[in-house]
């Protein structure tokens, strides 16, 4: 898709992968609606922030209407908003478990539900869902988060079969460890320079969107080459 002049919605834009994706879409000439709880420090005439809690269905509907009224119909949706908690299954806090599913799964569904009808009208669209390496396997003490990311994978693989006849692509990105604030609430690791840079993950997102109409990138798995640091030779 040629993104110049197209409207794109990105969720979870305050920092990290979401913010870097916004910057690269803007560089490509897109008009970007950033949805999130906190506005990023970004000054660009083609960036428009809409305070949004993706786990709230009414809020998502209101944000989509405000976005459409101000910018027009969105051709691109990047579902980046997500979070995680760590804990043994029998010790997990019920409220934290629900929060993960409300944001990572229900929020993804809400955003797709509001965006797809306009994409069908446009006859084109691209939905990029951010899963995780955790969506391809299991991780001790991360069962709740892993479950949400497996859900993202299953939803994505199902809806691309539903939407392809309308010219709508669905891409799932599976990042490995990335140097973002995600690890602020995770004890498994601290964010560090051996992790991937968020701007590199963002480039995979934007490149998957900027493809020929009949070229569909379905799954993209990215990992650090040297997760424990570059080996000494």
Q: Phi/psi zone of residue 174: left (φ > 0), alpha (ψ -120 to 50 degrees), beta?
A: beta
Instruction: Look up the CATH number of the domain holding residue 111.
Output: 3.40.50.720
Identify whether 44 is part of a domain: yes
Average pLDDT score over residue span 112-136: 97
pLDDT tens digits for range 137-183: 999 999 999 999 999 999 999 999 999 999 999 999 999 887 765 65
Identify whether 166 is part of a domain: yes
Q: Are 202 and 220 in contact (CB under 8 A)?
A: no
pLDDT tens digits for range 45-76: 999 999 999 999 999 999 999 999 999 999 99
For the chain, what is the domain count?
Answer: 1
Average predicted confidence (pLDDT) for the chain: 94
Identify whether 215 is part of a domain: yes
Identify whether 147 is part of a domain: yes
Identify whether 232 is part of a domain: no
How far apart, in Å, do the first and last CA atoms of the chain sit? 43
Q: Give the closest residue to 152 by CA, choosing from 219, 68, 217, 207.
A: 219
Identify whether 3 is part of a domain: no
The DSSP-derived string for 129-181 is EE--GGGSS--TT-HHHHHHHHHHHHHHHHHHHHHGGGTEEEEEEEE-SBSSG
Q: How confident is the model at residue 200 (pLDDT cuts 50, 70, 90)?
A: very high
Q: Are 33 and 60 in contact (CB under 8 A)?
A: no
Q: Are 182 and 83 in contact (CB under 8 A)?
A: yes
Placement of tokens 């949805």 in the chain: 35
Q: Are 47 and 19 in contact (CB under 8 A)?
A: no
Element (H, E) at 73: none
Q: What's phi and psi for 123, nearest 5 deg?
A: 80, 15
Whether pLDDT at 215 is above 90: yes
The DSSP-derived string for 169-215 is EEEEEEE-SBSSGGGGG-SS----TTSBPHHHHHHHHHHHHSS-TT-
Identify whether 95 is part of a domain: no
Burial category of 231 from C-beta neighbours within 10 Å (exposed 0-12, middle 13-18, buried 19 and up)? exposed
How many other CB atoms sit within 10 Å of the CB of residue 119?
23
Identify whether 55 is part of a domain: yes
Cα 52 from Cα 50, distance rounded (Å) = 6
Domain interval for residue 173: 10-89+107-181+194-222
Q: Phi/psi zone of residue 229: left (φ > 0), alpha (ψ -120 to 50 degrees), beta?
A: left
pLDDT at 193: 83
Q: What is the pTM of this model?
A: 0.94
Residues across the chain = 233
Whether pLDDT at 38 is above 90: yes
pLDDT at 77: 98
pLDDT at 78: 98
């Amino acid at each position: 898709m040629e993104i110049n002049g197209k409207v794109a919605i990105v969720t979870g834009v305050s920092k990290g992968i979401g913010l870097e994706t916004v910057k690269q879409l803007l560089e490509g000439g897109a008009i970007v609606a950033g949805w999130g709880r906190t506005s990023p420090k970004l000054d660009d005439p083609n960036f428009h922030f809409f305070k949004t809690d993706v786990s709230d269905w009414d809020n998502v509907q209101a944000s989509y209407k405000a976005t459409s009224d101000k910018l027009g119909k969105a051709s691109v949706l990047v579902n980046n908003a997500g979070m995680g908690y760590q804990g043994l299954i029998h010790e997990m806090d019920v409220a934290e478990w629900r929060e993960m599913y409300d944001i990572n799964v229900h929020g993804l569904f809400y955003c797709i539900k509001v965006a797809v009808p306009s994409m069908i009208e446009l006859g084109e669209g691209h939905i990029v869902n951010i899963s995780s390496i955790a969506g391809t396997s299991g991780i001790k003490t991360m069962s709740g988060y892993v479950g949400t990311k497996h859900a993202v994978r299953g939803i994505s693989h199902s809806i691309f079969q539903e939407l392809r006849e309308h010219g709508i692509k669905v891409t799932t990105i599976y990042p490995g460890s990335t140097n973002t604030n995600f690890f602020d609430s995770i004890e498994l690791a601290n964010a560090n320079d051996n992790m991937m840079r968020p701007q590199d993950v963002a480039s995979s997102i934007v490149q998957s969107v900027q493809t020929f109409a009949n070229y569909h990138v379905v799954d993209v798995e990215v990992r650090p080459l040297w997760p424990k640091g570059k080996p000494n030779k």
